[in-house]
Amino acid sequence: MIKKMILVALTLSFCATSCSSDDDNTPSTATLSLNLEGLEALGSNYVYEGWIIVDGAPVSTGTFSSIDFPQSFNVDAAQLEAATTFVLSIEPAGETGAEALAPADTKVLSGDFSGRTANVSTGIVGDFSMAAGAFFLRTPTDETGMNNGNDHYGVWFGTPGAPPTPNFDLPTLSPGWAYEGWVVGENGPITTGTFQVFNTADNFDGFSETLQPGPPVPGEDFFINAPSGEVFPLDIRGRTVVISVEPVPDDSPLPFAMKPLVGTAGQETAPATHDFGKNLASLPTGIVSR
């Protein structure tokens, strides 16, 4: 009987030692909490992904599609403790291979840890603190040099002239981002096209009559190919006009969360101009805790 008791004790002791050894070989995890504001849902082909920067290298903290916060993620405790910075990027859903090991150019938010928290902002995209600009109403794509009384069907970004000139105070965006113009129609926002510089035409003329080239500034006339729920020609007077910042590539037909400039078109057509207002409240922000 005594031998059996000794055998059982030795077995339990071995098991305890073995289990303790196994536990010692398992990396411990800690919780990373995201409490973010202002993000918008992405298209179905993309997800948000968090990253911590450890010894200068990125470590993924996980992906998510829901924009309900707070959200928590289990992260290697030692790496999280050593992290200096948090970055949030937009990534292709299901990404694998080398591209999955580092954040894409479309980095939305970033911030350095100070103690247990990091205040994150869109400064990694650009500094919009001085954002300003103006636009005018004119329909240059159906004219031959004479005003034919329909200038309220087009919107262009800048100052009218021969040729028009840019009138934006906006930063050059980081790689992975582009500006996009919008007019809010009867059924939602209607694009005027994307652009990255202010002194050339944008990438879209699908609504213009294009009887002649548009001016060397971004913008659009609204004559043909009306989207569902809209009637063209579209009278721009009194409508909301928006400049957004969009990820590249982008599979959502709607404006992204960042809309640094918003204005309302007045009744006057060119040579009158209409000012944008700064809309910094649209820029995502948040706190990351470890």
The per-residue pLDDT for range 17-54, each reduced to its tens digit, is: 444 334 555 679 999 999 999 999 998 899 999 999 99
Q: What are 255's two structure tokens?
A: 């404006």
Q: What is the pLDDT of residue 15?
A: 39
Q: Write 170-173 long-range contacts (CB < 8 A, 24+).
A: 170/126, 170/128, 170/131, 170/132, 170/133, 170/198, 170/243, 170/260, 170/261, 171/126, 171/127, 171/128, 172/126, 172/196, 173/125, 173/126, 173/245
The model's confidence at residue 4, banded by pLDDT at 50, 70 and 90, is: very low
Q: What is the enclosing helix (H) or strand (E) of 119?
A: strand 117-120
Residue labelled with tokens 């794509």: 141
Residue 182 has pLDDT above 60, yes or no: yes
User: Cis before residue 70, ω within 30 degrees of 0?
Assistant: yes
Give the pLDDT confidence of 161-172 residue by residue, as tens digits.
Answer: 999 999 999 999
Per-residue pLDDT at 144: 56
Tokens at residue 145, please?
A: 């040099």
Q: Per residue in 135-169, pLDDT tens?
A: 999 999 987 555 678 999 999 999 999 999 999 99
Span 272-277, average pLDDT: 98
What value does the mean pLDDT of the chain take? 90
In the prediction, which pLDDT does 30 show?
A: 97
**Mean of pLDDT values over 86-99:** 90
pLDDT > 60? residue 87: yes
Residue with tokens 């070989």: 25
